[in-house]
Amino acid sequence: MSIVKINVLTVSEEQRETLEKRFAARAGAVEGTDGFEWFELLRPVEGTDDYLVYTRWRSEEDFQAWMAGPMQSAHRPASPGGEQPKPASSASTLWSFEVVQQAAPKQD
């Protein structure tokens, strides 16, 4: 079964719009990657400053291949010698899970 990676990003109130705009600007960047299955950016509603970046992959190997290639490219400056923008998050933690059960709405 699939694996899930959840990147927990601590983002201050002042940086939320910046983070969301950066993700919107990269929309479509991961969808064509071999083994990619799902993405969601989850905004906190109350009680935390942590955004969750949820991705689902066919295998750990597919995720690692994306990390080693396309993900690195997506986080480089747009031009050689260009400056990398300051991160919108103040902390980041990666959680890893194996999918052991799943359900979807019934199809009529």
The rounded distance, in Å, linking the Cα atoms of 70 and 33 is 8
Strand ranges in 15-100 using DSSP code E only, listed in sequence order: 36-42, 50-57, 91-98
Global pTM exceeds 0.95: no
Predicted local distance difference test score (pLDDT) of residue 79: 56
pLDDT digits (tens, 9 = 90+) for 39-78: 999 999 999 999 999 999 999 999 999 999 877 665 555 5
Predicted local distance difference test score (pLDDT) of residue 15: 95
Predicted local distance difference test score (pLDDT) of residue 61: 96
